[in-house]
Structure 1
Amino acid sequence: MRLVILGGGESGVGTAILGKKKGYEVFVSDFGKIKGNYKEVLIINGIAWEEEKHTEDLILNADVVMKSPGIPDKSPIVKKLIEKGIPVLSEMEFAAPFTDATIIGITGSNGKTTTTMLTHHLLKSAGLNVGLGGNIGKSFAWQVADNKYDSYVLELSSFQLDGILNFKPHIAIITNISPDHLDRYDYKYENYIDAKFRITMNQTEEDYLIYDADDEAITEWFKTHTTKAKLIPFSLTKTFSEGAYIKNNKMEISINHEEFTMDTEHIALEGKHNMKNAMAATSVAKLMQIRKSTIRESLSNFQGVEHRLEKVLKIQNVQYINDSKATNVNATFFALDSMNTPTVWIVGGVDKGNDYNELMSLVREKVKAIICLGVDNKKIIDVFGNVVDIMIEVSTMNDAVKMAQRLSEKGDTVLLSPACASFDLFESYEDRGKQFKQAVKNL
């Protein structure tokens, strides 16, 4: 069996290692450059590879193809594979049949990284032998090749879910759905929503789907679709006999006739959106039979996620916050919503079809100045130019941070929450966040 892998990054190399271990003839092809550390792994394992090209003769003879999530279905080589009827799978679909581990899959437009990390933290603190993977951390396939874990917590992007046929998590979470990546879904929001719900398409009555019952797109989907999985809703406003909710500043969870309560003030994560992430993660912990005392302790000592509302430093009584991971409007909405002081907002980057008007009421209420950090800031300026007194364009992170210091006074917050992808000026949102933190430290 010939396994061809498109993309020589973490998921591609991990899949190559698993494929080789399972007796496939493996070939890795990357249209860009393969990083040195990954090349070494391929060479040590005797796996054939090529970079900066896709040689059709070596690809179109595959029995099965694993495509990295960053490669769109519209790319010419993928189109040719599909025309030939060669199955093109995601890493999850390829790797899952090779493990008996319990799989917890987490998707959503926002909050999925925090929910994934918190869920992993809850299970690991309880002594479970649990792996972390998918869209973050080490490749799932690579971990399956090493046969390490009894359960996995996987962060799943819509792109990873696009490439599944039979994959099914035992416990699935949909944190929320808001317009994102529409360029990959023919600019049709319903296509993107359907992609997210693929997480539950193979679930049976033995499985569970945990979801945000306050989310409009999710509740609309349920009006015309069904899933076999047992439903566990969570909400900030509604109460359930089976599910999770907040009432009188307490998180209350009822699952399989078992109750769990905890004062929200003892939960380490702050902000309404994080209460939802905590409810989702705690619901998993309850399903996995984790003791209540362990859950409480883990929720109170969780450190949060880098580049997600991460407090960097307080300088002259101004708090600097790194929310570089906010790559869409909905994520930035949560960030601005959780600000309690006048805010200098650093925003901009590669816009994926954003509607900034959704932020208008929050900007009027909380933002004193906007610093645009992007190659093309016209849209942001058009929307907010008449709303805030001060609007400045910069082209480097150092300039953005220095300008923010000048514009801020005691008691203010400087918030990097770009609402955009980072590829115009930075390698990635991580690179953008690290540059921000370094610039703050240099003040």
Structure 2
Amino acid sequence: MKNLVILGGGESGVGTAILGKQKGYNVFVSDKGIIAQKYKDVLLNNEIEFEDGSHTEAKIFKADVVMKSPGIPDKVQLIVTLKEKGIPIISEIEFASKYTNGVVVGITGSNGKTTTTMLVNHILKKANLNVGMGGNIGKSFAQQVAEDNFGFHVLELSSFQLDGIVDFAPHIAILTNITPDHLDRYNYLFENYINSKFRITENQKENDFLIYDADDEVIVNWLNNNKLKATLLPFSLEKELEQGVYIKDNNIILKYKTEQTIMSITTLALKGKHNTKNAMAAAMASSLLKVRSNTIRESLEDFEGAEHRLEEVLKINGVQYINDSKATNVNATFYALESMKTPTVWIVGGVDKGNDYLDLMPLVREKVKAIICLGIENQKIIQTFNNVVDLIVETAGAEEAVKVAYKIAEKGDTVLLSPACASFDLFDNYEDRGNKFKQAVREL
């Protein structure tokens, strides 16, 4: 019986444990932190051995294969030692993909991947396909493979999940964009992060597809210098393409083997250029899976966006409050500010991942009337913008930030929470941050 050791007792770890046990592995889950009660219950119910609060190395080193949670960096001593011992370390995505015959659509990118994943899932559901959504979102891929017999898997994949693959190859891969993010995990080298994202296509064959943003210089440069086997299907807002998805007379045109007009961009449920791109990518993927164009159109017209992503909370005294807590990097915040139509009170800050805020300068100049810092370390934000924005206030929590915003904002303004940072200094995660923001707005 082979030993499967799982490092991390969260969603991906517990899902892998269930699948591993089902497939006849001797499973041991080890978490240096404390495993949440809901996951402990699942492990106990499935009679899976686990520990939390420490790692028993003697047991871990007996592994034939190790699945590590995407949150654990490669530089951790335990991981280094495992590698020295030649014990294979893989991600949940790699482990689970060996046990499914379902068609996999994998979606990665610095921004837009959650929305695009939800869009593809929404379209395939509308087309009555037997589809499960997982990866970085919802129920873990491994648990779905163990418990549900899905014909299609739509997976949101982070670079950390892709770092742990060996043979994993989605039939359709979508690469939404690449901008500097998580550089603290990649030795501050942008090219390491870029290569990580492109791992999504490294095992694809000629009959697989890579859908990507042809307006993204980073992606185009990489493709010019590297050979891929997959069929390339670009999407672009800027140019007509020989093959792929583009805009003509405000209509989304799909071109692969035949040409079809899907819909006018004016009727898309989600607004903003970046969302038009997400919709174009999702339309192409669905079309490759033989979904009819009117089903694609209806789905893109009635889709409701992801929570914590430019989510309209309430309008109070003529001021619109928007929760964009999911904007954990500068590029995501760029999209948010770009779509603001009124003077904006911007709530920003958290754990800085090596951010360069200068990209935001033109938008801040044009749209932001006040900045409210929401983080423990705000110096960089203050230094960057103190010459451009007259009013910058530091706060120590969502409730305080919202109260200050309420005092500053006037009728017709927007209060935007779009932090451009991770949330781990004051909150559990970006959902917790978004929920506390919404609660504070509702209590005004």
Q: TM-score of the superposition, structure 1-length normalised?
A: 0.99
SS at match of 2:101: coil
Secondary structure of 1:346's match?
strand
What is the alpha-carbon distance in structure 1 between the residues aligned to residue 224 and residue 144 of structure 2? 38
Contact 2:171–2:204, Cα closer than 8 Å, also in 1? yes
Equivalent positions of 1:336-351 (< 5 A) are 336-351=337-352
Q: Give yes or no for contact 2:345–2:413 (8 Å, CA) kept in 1.
A: yes
Secondary structure of 1:72's counterpart equals: coil
Residue 395 of structure 1 pairs with residue 396 of structure 2: yes
- C-alpha contact 2:344 2:368 (8 A) present in aligned 1: yes
The whole-number CA distance in structure 1 between the counterparts of 2:152 and 2:286 is 12
Aligned to 1:72: 73
Q: Which residue of 2 is the match for residue 53 of structure 1?
A: 54
Matches within 5 A, 1:44-443: 44-443=45-444
Q: Deviations over 1:338-396 (max 9, x none)?
A: 11111000000000000000000000000011001110100000000010111111111
Matched letter for residue 236 of structure 1: L
CA distance in 1, matches of 2:81, 2:261: 52
Q: Could you tell me how far apart the structure 2 residues matched to 1:234 and 1:226 are?
A: 19
How big is each residue's C-alpha offset from its partner over 1:83-108, in whole Å with a ceiling of 9 and x where there is no partner? 00000000010011101000000000
CA distance in 1, matches of 2:164, 2:293: 37
Q: Note if contact 1:99-1:147 (Cα within 8 Å) is conserved in structure 2.
A: no
Cα distance in 2 between the residues matched to 1:6 and 1:260: 48
Partner of 2:75, secondary structure, is coil
The two structures have a TM-score, normalised by structure 2, of 0.99
Report the AA paired with residue 47 of structure 1: I
Residue in 1 aligned with 2:30?
A: 29
Cα distance in 2, alignment partners of residues 114 and 147 from structure 1: 23
2:430 maps to amino acid = Y
Q: Per-residue deviation at 1:222?
A: 1.1
Distance 1:284 1:384 in 2: 41
Q: 1:13, 1:260 → 2: CA distance? A: 44
User: Would you say the 8 A contact 2:104–2:170 is kept in 1?
Assistant: yes
Which whole-Å CA distance do the structure 1 matches of 2:97 and 2:387 have between them? 52
For 1:84-140, what per-residue CA distance to the aligned partner results, in whole angstroms no more than 9, with x for missing partners? 000000001001110100000000000000000011000011100000000000010
Distance in 2 (CA, whole Å) between partners of 1:169 and 1:193 is 18
Measured in 2, the distance between the counterparts of 1:148 and 1:344 equals 47
Q: Deviation of residue 223 (structure 1)?
A: 1.7
Cα contact 2:336–2:418 (8 A) shared by 1 = yes
Alpha-carbon shift at residue 247 of structure 1 (Å): 2.5
Partner amino acid, structure 1, of 2:140: S
Deviates more, 1:28-37 or 1:251-260: 251-260
The alignment partner of 1:392 has SS state of strand
Equivalent residue of 1:275, what SS? helix
Amino acid at match of 1:146: E
Q: Taking structure 1 as reference, are residues 368 and 52 closer, same or farther at Cα in structure 2, changes over 3 Å only? A: same
SS in 2 for 1:365: helix
Tell me the amino acid that sits aligned with residue 202 of structure 1: N
2:172–2:210 contact (8 Å) kept in structure 1: yes
Q: Distance in 2 between matches of 1:404 and 1:39?
A: 40
Would the aligned equivalents of 1:255 and 1:286 in 2 still touch at CA under 8 Å? Answer: no
Shift of 1:440: 0.6
Mapped partners of 1:252, 1:271: distance in 2: 18
Native 8 Å contact 2:215 2:238 kept in 1: yes
Question: Residue deviations 1:37-85, cap 9 Å, x none?
Answer: 1111111111110001111110001000000000011111111110000
Task: Give the partner amino acid of 1:20.
Answer: K
> Deviations along 1:306-337, whole A, 9 cap, x unmatched?
00000111111111100000000000000000
SS at match of 2:431: helix
How far does the alpha carbon of each residue in 1:173-209 deviate from its partner, in whole angstroms, 9 at most, with x for none? Answer: 0000000000110110000000000000000100000
Cα-to-partner distance string for 1:186-240 (whole Å, 9 max, x where unaligned): 1100000000000000001000000000111101101211210000101110111
Distance 1:74 1:260 in 2: 49
For residues 203 and 50 of structure 2, the distance between their equivalents in structure 1, rounded to whole angstroms, comes to 33
Q: Is the 8 A contact 2:102 2:152 kept in 1?
A: yes
Q: Secondary structure at the match of 2:98?
A: helix
Task: Point out where structure 1 has 5 or more consecutive residues left out of the alignment.
Answer: none
Amino acid across the alignment from 1:339: M
C-alpha displacement of 1:249: 1.8
1:256 Cα offset (Å): 2.4
TM superposition shift of 1:148: 2.0
Structure 2 unmatched runs, 5+: none
SS of structure 2 residue aligned to 1:98 = coil
Dislocated runs of 4+, deviation >4 Å: none
Residue aligned with 2:58, SS: helix
